[in-house]
Amino acid sequence: MLNQPMVVGVIDMDEQRSHIISALVLHRPGVLQRVAGLFTRRGFNIETITVGTSEQDDMARMTIIARGDGKVLEQITKQLNKLIDVIKVRDLEPENTVERELCLIKVHAPAEHVRSEVIQYANIFRGRIIDVGIETLTIEITGTPDKIEALIDLLRVFGIKEIARTGPTAISRGTKII
Amino acid sequence: MKGGEAIIKSLQDHGVDVVFGYPGGVLLPLYDVIYDSDLKHILVRHEQCAAHAADGYARASGKVGVCIGTSGPGATNLVTGIATAYMDSSPIIAIAGQVGTSLIGKDAFQEVDTLGITMPITKHNFQAMKADEIPGMIKAGFYIAKTGRPGPIVLDLPKDVQEEEFDYKKDLKIDLPGYKPTKKGHTLQIKKAANLILESKKPVILAGGGVIHSKSSAELLKLSELIRAPVTTTLMGKGSFPEDHKLSLGMLGMHGRKVANIVVDECDCLIAIGCRFSDRTTGNVEEFASKAKIIHIDVDPAEIGKNIDVNVPIVGDAKNTLTSLIRNITNIKISAENVTKAKKWTDYIFDFKNNCMPRLSFEDVPLKPQQVIKEIMESVDKDTIVTTDVGQNQMWMAHYFTSKIPRTFLSSGGLGTMGFGFPAAMGAKVALPESDVVSVCGDGGFLMVCQELATIKEYDIPIVVCVLDNRYLGMVAQWQKLFYDGRISHTRLGDVPDFVKLAEAFGVKGEKVERPGEMKETLKNALNSGEPTIIDVIIDPDEILPMVPPGCGLTEIVGEYKVEREFSGEIPYVKPAHGGGGD
Ligand SMILES: Cc1ncc(C[n+]2csc(CCOP(=O)(O)OP(=O)(O)O)c2C)c(N)n1
Ligand SMILES: [Mg+2]
C-alpha cells in the first residue's frame, strides 16, 4: 500500500474531519504508550483511543479517532506504521464502517414520575437500566457517538450525576478485514 | 548461562569487538563478565561521550556502535547521544542498566524510566525482564538498527536479569511481524521519474545521508553524469558525491554554497535522494525549488510528503532505486535536442560555479577560518575522517571543506549537539585505526566534553582536535549580530582556559596556531607523530558565514559572500536580501 502513489481526486485532501483509524498491534507492555506518545510528539490530535484484544491471541486492536486533513492523516498512518510493535494500520472509510460506543449514564431520579420518564427515554434509545439506587438510575446504552450524545442531551434536565464512555470502536462492513 | 554472559556473547556473535561504557551499581554483574571476556571496553569519562563515540564508530565504519551506561544518571547522560544518533539515522545500541525487577516502579535508588524517556528518540527499545529474552532482543536490536532507515536501539537491563541463569539456545529465530523495511522502489514510479528527468531542461540532484547508508555513491555519480545534473548535498549527504567533481555544487541550505542555493531555486526538476528536507536545508518551504517538479526517493515512507509536497514519490532503498532509474533512463533514446539542452544547462552551471567559488586564502592575523580550513585540506588525505562540532566551526567546515568519499565527514546534523565532534572522532578512530582522524571543534563545544582527553590519553587514541578558538559561542553571537542589533548576550566565553595547558594537564600534546601557514605544518606533524594532539587555533571572532535567515527562501543570503575571483559575465538573478526573523 505504501509503495503506491496516493490516490488524490476522490478524497478531498484539505478537508478537516475526524478519521477512524484501526490498528492491529502486538499485545505487549508499552505499546499504548508508544502510540499515545507518537501522537503527542508529532502534534496529532487524538479524540479517543480504545484498546482491546483482537481475533489473534498475541495482538490487540486499537481504534483511534483523530482529527485532521488528508495530509495529517497520511502522516499519522505512516508514523504508526513505523512503530515496530504496530502490525497494520487502516483509515476506515466512514461510509463502509460500523462504529459503536458504550456509555453508562447515572441519572438523578428520586421521584417516581421522574423514574418512569427516564426509563421511557432509555427504552426509546434501546438502552437498559442496569442499576437502580434510592436516588439514581443507571442506563447502559450502545450506539454511534451521535446517538449517545442525543440521549445525554435529553437526560440533562433530570441532572446527570456521572457519565462513563468507552469511546467508539469500529469495524469495516462486509467481508473486508484489515 | 547468566544474563550478563548472554549480553556479551550475543554482542560478540554480532561482530562487536569494542564497546564504550561507564559502569555503576546495577551494572556490576555485567562488568564482572566483561572482566573475563576478550571484548574491548573503553572507559569514557562521561556517558554522553560513550554514545557519541559509538555513533562516530557507526558513522565511520557503517557497523553498529555499542555503548553502555548505568541506571538513572548513567541512562540520562546517554540520552543526548542517543537523540543525536536518532536524528541522523545512525545505528547504535545503547545498553542501560536498570534497578532490579522487584524494585522497578518504587523510585528505587538510581531508578529512572529509561524505556519511557527513550521511546521518542529510538527506532525501538526493549526491556529484558527475563534473561532468556536477552539473545532475541539483541538479535532483533541489531537487525532493526541497521536495516531500512538505520537508527538507535536501547536495551534496558535490570540488575537481577544480568545474574539470572537460563539455557542459551543457538540459532534462535526472531519474529518481527510489524517490521518490514521496504526495499524496492515501485517500477511505475521509477518509469515516471525517468520520463520526468528526460523532459526537464534543468535537472538538479539533492543527495542526503541515505545515499551513504545505502552505499549508493557510485550509482549517484553515474546518474549525475548520465543526465548531466549537478549535485548538491545536505549536511548528512556530504561525502556522498565527490565535491571536487565538476558537477558538484557543495552543500545546500541555510549555510549552503551560494551556487547550490541559487541553482536549486532555478532548476525545473529536483531529484532528492535519501534526504528529509529539513528546515535547515530547504529554508522557507513555500519558496523551495518552486519552479521544479520534485522526485523524492527515500526508504522511509513517512519522510515522503512530510515537509514538502512531491510530484513523484518513490519509497525504496537508494541503491536499488537508482540502479533501476539509471536502467530506465538508458533505455529511453536520448535525442540530439536532449544533448543540446543538457550542455546548455551544464555550461551555465560551470560558469556560475567558477564565478562564485568561495574565497579561502586570507593572510590575516587573527586567522580567518577559511584559511585554517584551506590548510587543513592541504594536510589531509582524501580518506581522512573529519568530524565537526556544532556552530560556526561546523558550518565553515560544511561550506568550505571538500569531502570526496562517503563516511569521511561526520557531523551532528539533526540535533546539532555541541560536544559531538571530539568523542565522535574518538569512536571513528577506534573503528578505523588505520585512518587519520581530525576533529574540528569550537572552543565552546570542546569544553563541554574535554574530559575525554583522559580517554584518548589512557587508550592512546591518536586523533587530532583543532579547536577553533574565537572565545565566543560564535554561531549564537553571529545571530545576535545579524538579527538582534549586535546585542551580544552571554555568548562571550572569556579568556580561560588555556587549551594547550588543558591538554597538557591530561598528558596530551598541545599546540598553538596563530598565523597563516602554521596550521598546515602543525597538523601534518601531529598526524605524523601518531600521538593524540590538541591544536588551539586562534581565529578572528568577527568572521561571519553568510546565511539564509530562518523563514526566508534559499536565495535570500545575508552577509558578504566572499568569492575567490570577481564575477565576470552575467551574474545570475539574486533576490534582494532582507534581514531578521525568529527561528
Ligand atoms: C548542547 C548544545 N547547547 C547549545 C547549543 C546552541 N548553540 C548552537 S551553536 C552554539 C555556539 C557554539 O560555540 P562554539 O562551540 O565555540 O563554536 P563556534 O560557533 O564559536 O564555532 C550554541 C551555544 C547547541 N547546539 N548544543
Ligand atoms: Mg567558539
| A41 closest CA partner among A74, A80, A15, A13 | A80
Q: Is the pLDDT at B565 greater than 90, yes or no?
A: no
Q: Is the CB of B473 under 6 A from ligand 1?
A: yes
Read off the C-alpha cell for B560. Answer: 558578504
**How close is the Cα of B105 to the center of ligand 2, in Å?**
43
**Of B251, B101, A6, the residue nearest B259 (C-alpha):** B251
Q: Which residue of A has its CA nearest to B151?
A: A82
Interface residue ranges in chain B relative to chain A, Cβ cutoff 8 Å: 115-116, 119-120, 123-124, 127, 144, 176-179, 182, 185-186, 189, 300-302, 305-306, 313, 315-316
Q: Is A54 inside any structural domain?
A: yes
Identify the domain boundary among A92, A113, A129.
A92
Closest chain A residue to the Cα of B140, Cα to Cα: A84
**Chain centre distance of CA B533:** 23
Pairwise CA distance, residues B236 & B411, whole Å: 7
Do A88 and A115 share a structural domain?
A: no
Are A73 and A51 in the same domain?
A: yes
Residue B108: exposed, middle, or buried by beta-carbon count in 10 A (0-12, 13-18, 19+)?
A: middle
Provide the residue range defining the domain that includes A148. Answer: 98-172
The finding on whether B135 has its CB within 6 A of some atom of ligand 1 is: no
Decide: helix, strand or coil at residue B357: coil
Q: Which residue has the higher pLDDT, B308 or B333?
A: B308
pLDDT, tens digit, for every residue of A129-142?
Answer: 999 999 999 999 99
Q: Is B159 a catalytic residue?
A: yes
Q: CB distance A87–B302 less than 8 Å? A: no
Closest residue by Cα to residue A83 from B174, B72, B447, B151 = B151
Q: What pairs with residue A17 in β-bridges? A: A68
Q: Is the pLDDT of residue B432 over 80?
A: yes
| CA-proximal residue: ligand 1, atom 9 (nearest) | B391
- Which positions ≥6 away from B65 have C-beta within 8 Å? B20, B53, B54, B55, B56, B57, B58, B90, B91, B92, B93, B427, B431
State the DSSP code for A91: E
Cell of B106: 518504587
Same domain, A29 and A72: yes
Query: Is A178 a member of any domain?
Result: no
ipTM of the prediction greater than 0.95, yes or no: no
Q: For B302, which of A5, A30, A79 is closest by C-beta distance?
A: A79
Residues A82 and A122 grouped into a single domain: no
With beta carbons less than 8 A apart as the criterion, state whether B343 and B247 touch. Answer: no
Query: Which residues of chain B are within 8 Å of residue A26 when distances are taken between CB atoms?
Result: 177-178
Q: Does residue A76 fall inside a structural domain?
A: yes
SS3 category, B296: strand
**Entry pTM:** 0.94
Shared domain check, A163 and A134: yes
> Which of A92, A124, A145 is the last residue in one of the domains?
A92
Question: Which residues in chain A have Cβ-Cβ distances shorter than 8 Å to B178?
Answer: 25-26, 83-87
Q: Is B110 a catalytic residue?
A: yes
Q: What is the CATH number of the domain that holds A165?
A: 3.30.70.1150
Question: What's the Cα-to-Cα distance from A18 to each of A34, A99, B153, B545, rounded to whole Å?
Answer: 21, 13, 34, 47
Write out pLDDT tens, residues B13-44.
999 999 999 999 999 999 999 999 999 999 99
How many separate domains does chain A show?
2
pLDDT at A7: 42
**Is the separation of the CB atoms in B474 and B542 below 8 Å?**
no
Q: Find out whether B204 and B264 touch, Cβ atoms under 8 Å.
A: yes
Check CB contact under 8 Å for A71 and B315. Answer: no
Cβ B452 under 6 angstroms from ligand 1: no
Which of B122, B127, B143, B179 is the best substitution to test chain A (most A C-beta atoms within 10 A)? B179
- Tell me, using a 6 A CB cutoff, whether residue B480 lines ligand 1: no
Q: To the nearest whole angstrom, how far is the Cα of B184 from the nearest Cα of chain A?
A: 9
What is the distance in A from the centroid of ligand 2 to the CA of B471?
5
Decide: helix, strand or coil at residue A8.
coil
Run of H or E residues at B14: none
- Our answer on whether the CB atom of B388 is closer than 6 Å to any ligand 1 atom is no
Q: What is the pLDDT of residues B236-265, one digit of tens each?
A: 999 999 999 999 999 999 999 999 999 999
Q: Which of A27, A62, A73, A82 to mutate to test the interface with B (most CBs of B within 10 A)?
A: A82
Chain B residues in contact with A37 (beta carbon < 8 A): 119-120
Task: State whether A81 and A135 are in the same domain.
Answer: no
Same-domain status, A112 and A61 = no
Domain boundary among A50, A75, A92: A92
CA of B580 to the centre of ligand 1 (A): 20
Mean confidence (pLDDT) of chain B: 95
Candidate from B76-80, B196-200, B330-334, B572-576 with smallest mean pLDDT: B572-576
Q: Are residues A86 and A117 in the same domain?
A: no
**Does the Cβ of B444 fall within 6 Å of ligand 1?**
yes
Active-site residue, selected from the candidate residues B109, B225, B246, B564 = B109
- Do residues A50 and A62 make contact, with C-beta atoms less than 8 angstroms apart? yes
Find chain B residues with C-beta within 8 A of A25's C-beta. 178
Residues A22 and A67 in one domain: yes
Q: Which ranges constitute the DSSP H helices of B14-72? A: 28-36, 47-61
Q: What is the pLDDT of residue A11?
A: 58
8 Å CB contact of B302 and A26: no
Active-site residue, from B137, B418, B426, B475: B475
Q: How many inter-chain contacts (A to B, CB under 8 Å) are there?
A: 50
Query: Cβ contacts of residue B532 below 8 Å, gap of 6+?
Result: B453, B456, B457, B460, B461, B462, B463, B464, B508, B509
A40 and A103 in a common domain: no
- pLDDT (tens digit, 9 = 90+) per residue, B495-510? 999 999 999 999 999 9
Q: Hey, what domains does chain B have and what are their CATH numbers?
A: 3-163 (3.40.50.970), 187-355 (3.40.50.1220), 369-538 (3.40.50.970)
State whether residue A167 is helix, strand or coil.
Answer: coil
User: Within 13 Å and on the Cβ side, how many CA atoms surround A15?
Assistant: 8
Residue A3 lies in a domain: no
CB burial of residue A15 (10 Å; 0-12, 13-18, 19+): exposed
Does the pLDDT at position B575 exceed 90? no
Residue A116 located in a structural domain: yes
Distance from C-alpha of A3 to C-alpha of B526, rounded to nearest angstrom: 51
Band of the pLDDT at A10, cuts 50, 70, 90? low
Please check whether residues A57 and A113 belong to one and the same domain.
Answer: no
Query: Looking at residue A67, which CATH number applies to its domain?
Result: 3.30.70.260
**Residue A80 C-alpha, separation from nearest chain B C-alpha, in angstroms:** 9
Same domain, A37 and A84: yes
